[in-house]
Chain A
């Protein structure tokens, strides 16, 4: 039943995830351009997600086709973001509920 691959070093994966989480929290306070921070954050988040999928979910030891099934949503989400680009290009607007619509206890 069990696939006879060597058990990966789960504690090493845990430490990697922990270090990346600490780095992620640290980087948002770093004195860098916002764009660079965002790129670093996305890179670290995807690395962490990959570690979980490859080792905890054993994707690394599964048939390649199963990995493709797992990748499909990621690819579709990238398409989705591009499909929404026209909305990105829309004029930025305030998305606050207007005073008339009522925010009863918002002001003192």
Chain B
């Protein structure tokens, strides 16, 4: 039961109180809390602009819900593969880490590809940053601002995870690096979490 180390005299004095694993993990959590506010402000602004508009189109009549549902599925799946990548490195299974990390990066890249396709399609149809064939032009502004900000996060996440994937493939990542993968995983899950909210508020509501 109580295998917890009893007050050891040589405990590091500078240990992070909330995240004993590392300060970096606490740093990532605080960064994510701030980043969440950026998204929160964008979504709150979206809500106000939409509520105050009389000609806001129904999103599902302009945007492709099926495609974005597939994109949601992809991000959720890539979150699951990320979880398995972390579990793999924690038990020292570097082959598993490489496999699941590669799948996660692939999920992120496919998501970005589909988003590029979606944007191109919508722009051709007449939805621009300041133009909207279906009504309120702010619909286009908010749509591209919010999905663009999220897409930038996915891009950042793909680069972030690719760096670890390359390190793993070169054999420079050992089981001791599990903490770094855990911190990267937090970021990736956050991007997934935000997409769940963006998908609901921008596409479905």
Contact = CB atoms under 8 A, between A and B. Distances in A.
A51 B137 CA distance: 35
A45 B197 contact: yes
A63 B18 contact: yes
Contacts of B135: 96
Interface residues of A, number: 52
Contacts of A6: none
Contacts of A93: 52-54
Interface residues of B, number: 66
B177 to A, nearest CB: 10
Main secondary structure of the interface of B (DSSP, over half): helix
A56 to B, nearest CB: 4
B48 A84 contact: yes
B37 A94 contact: no
A97 B18 contact: no
Contacts of B60: 28
Interface in A31-46: 38, 41-42, 44-45
Nearest to A4: B3
Given A52-B192, A56-B83, A88-B52, A41 B200 contact: yes
Given A41-B205, A66-B18, A69-B29, A52 B79 contact: yes
Interface string A72-95: 111011001100100110101111
B6 to A, nearest CB: 16
A100 interface: no
B77 interface: yes
Given A10-B83, A94-B55, A49 B193 contact: yes
B145 interface: no
Interface string B47-82: 111011111100010000110010011001101101
Interface of B: 17-19, 21, 26, 29-30, 32-34, 36-37, 40-41, 43-45, 47-49, 51-56, 60, 65-66, 69, 72-73, 76-77, 79-80, 82-84, 87, 90, 126, 130-133, 135-139, 178-179, 185-186, 189-190, 192-193, 196-197, 199-201, 204-205
14 contacts: A3-B21, A10-B83, A24-B200, A28-B204, A52-B196, A63-B17, A77-B43, A88-B48, A92-B54, A96-B55, A96-B132, A96-B136, A96-B137, A105-B126
Interface of A: 1-3, 7, 10-11, 13-14, 17-18, 21-22, 24-25, 28, 38, 41-42, 44-45, 48-49, 52-53, 56-57, 62-63, 65-66, 69-70, 72-74, 76-77, 80-81, 84, 87-88, 90, 92-97, 103, 105-106
